Amino acid sequence: MTLSTLPADTSIETFASVLVTMAKDSGSRVPGIYYDVQLLADPDTTVEEVVASYAKVTALKVQKAEAEKQVAKDLLANTKLPFFTVKNRDAWQLVLDTCPSEWGVRTLVFAATWANAMESRMVEGERLCDIVDVTGETSKPADYTLSSNQLNTAFSFLMNHWVHSNDLAEWLVLSS
């Protein structure tokens, strides 16, 4: 049996056993990936050592994710989001409450700031597609440094939660 022929629902113990057997049979180090964790087995590695290594890496990943969530939660708690009109306040609050990273918080802050700026002009009767300048401050204020992925994510949040999502969709189609 090889690692590539193992079923997707293989236990870590079975995976480790195959990895260790392959290392012993080949007389050299054998790498393997169990879910998203890289594991190594040398000819003298035991199954228990591979399982323990997996458990340690998994625990560290969980710890890191929890720390990132706490940083995001603290950042969001200390950030006043500009008001903008959402379709469903509870759904938007759920997004805020479950934001998993600092990257996500910064993206949400941009989305709220941008929507607020657009709404302030739309209240005066202007249409979104008429006021947004893709290269200017109405598309991305100068004090924001966002990757294209963050910008796309911000607009995705707004498409799902902003009352002016139809206007945003129209602008996105026209600007592409």
Instruction: Identify the band that residue 58 occupies on the pLDDT scale cut at 50, 70 and 90.
Output: very high
Q: Which two tokens stand for residue 77?
A: 């708690």
pTM: 0.62
| pLDDT exceeds cutoff 80 at 142 | no
Between 77 and 57, name the one with better pLDDT.
Answer: 57
- Residues with Cβ within 8 Å of 174's Cβ and at least 6 positions away in sequence, in order, are 129
Q: How much is the pLDDT for 126?
A: 85
For residue 133, the SS3 value is coil
Tens digit of each residue's pLDDT (9 = 90 or more) over 72-120: 888 888 888 888 999 999 999 899 888 888 888 889 988 998 888 888 8
In terms of DSSP H, where are the helices of 27-162?
47-77, 89-97, 102-122, 128-131, 148-161
| pLDDT exceeds cutoff 90 at 151 | no
C-alpha count within 13 angstroms, C-beta hemisphere, residue 163: 12
Tens digit of each residue's pLDDT (9 = 90 or more) over 67-82: 888 888 888 888 888 8
| pLDDT exceeds cutoff 60 at 136 | no
- Residues with Cβ within 8 Å of 66's Cβ and at least 6 positions away in sequence, in order, are none
